[in-house]
Structure 1
C-alpha cells in the first residue's frame, strides 16, 4: 500500500522524543516501510527518522502555543500550525495514497482529512473540546485509540472509537546489572506525578535519576536531589532502564497508554505505578510490576519495594509477549487495509 503517516507539525520527530506518541508513530512508519509499503511520513522540518521517506513542512512559529497541556487551558488558535496542516493534506491529496494514518491531535486535521481513506489515532483522552467536536463527526470505523481505558473515556464523551490499536515497543535486548536507583522518565509535566514519585522513592530508600525534558513551561519541580539525565535517545533510555532498579510511573491523570512503562519492561526493568488510566493494561501485576492506589504515596512506596524482588527475566518475557512492536504493526496494517476499502 501507499501510506501517508501524519504527525503533528507542532514538534519535529527526533531520536530523543518529547512523548510516547511521537516515538511510536516513528516506529510505526518505519515498521510499515520495512514490510514493503510505500510510506511517506508527513512531519515538521527538522525531523530525523531513519528508514522512511520524510515529507516535511516548515516548523510553525506558533508551535509552542499549540501544545496540548493536560490539565491546562485549551490551546489558542495557531495560524502557523493550521497552515502547516493544510500543506500536509494538500500534499497527501495530490499523492493519491491508498491509506492515511493520521496522528495529529488537532481539530483541523479531522476536517482536512474528509474524503480521504483515513484512520485517525487518538493518542490522548478527550481533553480538548474542539477535537471532541471534530471526532464526533467521524464514523467510528475511522477512529482508533491506544487502550481500552482511553476508548472508554472517548465513549463517555459521546465518541465511538471503532479500532483499538495499542502501541508497541521494539524488542532490543540491553543486558545490564541494575543498581539501587529508581528511574522517572518522560516529559517533565504535572500530570506525570514527579513529586509523588520522588517521595515514594525516598520512602523506599532509593536514589532517583530523571530522564526527560521540561514540557509545561509553567511547571516547576525541585529535582536538586536527583541525577538529571535530560532528554535521551531511545537507545540510551533503554540502557538507563536496564540498569535502574525500578521505573516509577506516578501518573496523576488518565494515562492513555504509558510508553515509558512499556519500554521499561522491555528492558527488564519492573514498573511501580498508580492504578490509573491504561497502566493496568500495560503492567502485568505481580510479574512485570506492581500497581498502587491512585495518589497514595505510601502504597506506591510499597509497590516499589515489591518490584525489587521481581525476576527481571520474567519482566522482559512478559513485555515481549504483550507489548512488542511487531504485533502493533500487524494491527495497524490490517486496520489501514480496512481504511483503504
Structure 2
C-alpha cells in the first residue's frame, strides 16, 4: 500500500524527550516500512524516519510557539497532503479534527486517529458536522463522550519490545514521568510518596502553558526532601529511570485517552499505581500489573503491597498486549478493510 502518515508538528518524529503522539507515529511508520509498504511521513523536517519525509516545519514548533502561529504550519502541511494525495492509497491523519476539511477533498481513502480528549464543550457540535469521518480511538474510554462517531476500531498504542529492557530488581524510589500540569497531578504523586515514606523522582516537561501552575502550585513542593526533579528524559535515560523504580505513580485527574508512560513502565517490569480514570483500567490489570485506585489513601495502601506484583508478569503483559507489532498489524488490517470497502463502493457505482 501507498500510505501517508500525517503527524502533528509540535515535536519532531520521534521526540527528543517528552512527546506521545509523535513517538507513536514514529513506531507506526517504521513498522509499516518493515512490512514493505510505501510510506510517506508528513512531519517536522528534522524527523528521523525510514519513510519518505515531507517537511511541514524546520523543527518542533513548540520551540518557537511564543513567536509563531503553530496552526499556520499545520494548515500549510495539510494543504500539501491534499496536493500530493493522488500518490497515496490512504492518508492516515494524527492531527485530530484539524484535518477534517482537508480529508473531505482527498481522492483517496483517509483515516484519523484521535489522540486527545473528547469531553470538552463545543466538540460535539464540531464532530456532528464531520460525523462521516472514519476514526480510530486509542482507548474505548476515549469514545465515551461521542459514541455515535464513525469509529472503525480501538487501537491501543504499542512500542518496540527491545526499546526498554526488563529490570528484575528495583531501587527504593517511586517515579512520576510525564508533564507538570493540573491534569497529571504531580502534587498527588508527591503526597503519596511522602505518606508512604518513599523517595520520589520526577521526570517531566514543564510547558510554557503550564508555567504559571508550576510556579504557583508545584515549585515549592520540589523543595521537599523526598522529591528529586530530573528534568525531561530521553529514551536512554528513561530505561533506568522507569526500570529502577519500585512503581510508577500515575495519579491523573482527567479522562486520560491512553497514557503511554504506563506501558513504558510495564516494558521495564515496573508496576503502575494509577487513578481509575480514562484509559487506565484498559491498561493496568488490577492486582497483576499494578493497582487501580480512587484516592491518595488507596494509593498509599497500594504502595505498601507493591512487592506482591510480579515484575516479570508486568513485562509479559507488555509483550502480549502492547508491542508495536500488534499495533502495526491492527492498523494494517484497518487500512485493508477500508481499501476493500472503497473498491467495493467504486465497483457498485460502475455497475
* Short-chain TM bin: 0.7 to 0.9
- What is aligned with 2:245? 244
Which of residues 134, 137, 145 is equivalent to 1:153? 145
Cα distance between partner residues in 2 of 1:61 and 1:331: 29
SS of structure 2 residue aligned to 1:16: coil
- What is aligned with 1:38? 38
Count of residue pairs brought into register by the alignment = 326
Which is worse superposed, 268-277 or 207-216? 207-216
Distance 1:151 1:110, change over 3 A: same
- What is aligned with 1:125? 117
Cα distance between partner residues in 1 of 2:60 and 2:26: 23
Which is worse superposed, 326-335 or 133-142? 133-142
Calculate the TM-score normalised by the size of structure 1: 0.87
Shift, 1:109, TM fit: 1.0
Shift, 1:238, TM fit: 2.6
Which is worse superposed, 35-44 or 222-231? 222-231
Cα distance between partner residues in 1 of 2:85 and 2:178: 35
> Which is greater in Rg?
2
- 1:144 paired with 2:143, answer no
Which of residues 180, 191, 205 is equivalent to 2:183? 191
- 1:100 paired with 2:91, answer yes
Cα distance between partner residues in 2 of 1:25 and 1:4: 11
SS of structure 1 residue aligned to 2:261: helix
Per-residue CA distance 1:32-51 (angstroms, 9 max, x = gap): 1111111111112333x243
Shift, 1:128, TM fit: 5.3
Distance 1:63 1:136, change over 3 A: farther
- 1:228 paired with 2:222, answer no
Distance 1:183 1:92, change over 3 A: farther
Cα distance between partner residues in 1 of 2:59 and 2:146: 29
Shift, 1:194, TM fit: 0.7
Shift, 1:138, TM fit: 3.9
Shift, 1:235, TM fit: 3.5
Confirm or deny: 8 A CA contact 2:56 2:73 kept in the other structure: no
Cα distance between partner residues in 1 of 2:82 and 2:54: 12
- What is aligned with 2:101? 111
What is the RMSD of the two structures over their aligned residues, measured on CA atoms? Answer: 2.6
**Unaligned residue ranges in structure 2 (runs of 5+):** 343-351
Per-residue CA distance 1:73-118 (angstroms, 9 max, x = gap): xxxx865235433344245425x2011111012x331111113411
**Unaligned residue ranges in structure 1 (runs of 5+):** 68-76
SS of structure 2 residue aligned to 1:186: strand
Distance 1:64 1:163, change over 3 A: farther
Which is worse superposed, 325-334 or 158-167? 158-167
- What is aligned with 2:171? 179
SS of structure 1 residue aligned to 2:285: coil
- 1:328 paired with 2:319, answer no
Confirm or deny: 8 A CA contact 2:134 2:150 kept in the other structure: no
SS of structure 1 residue aligned to 2:245: coil
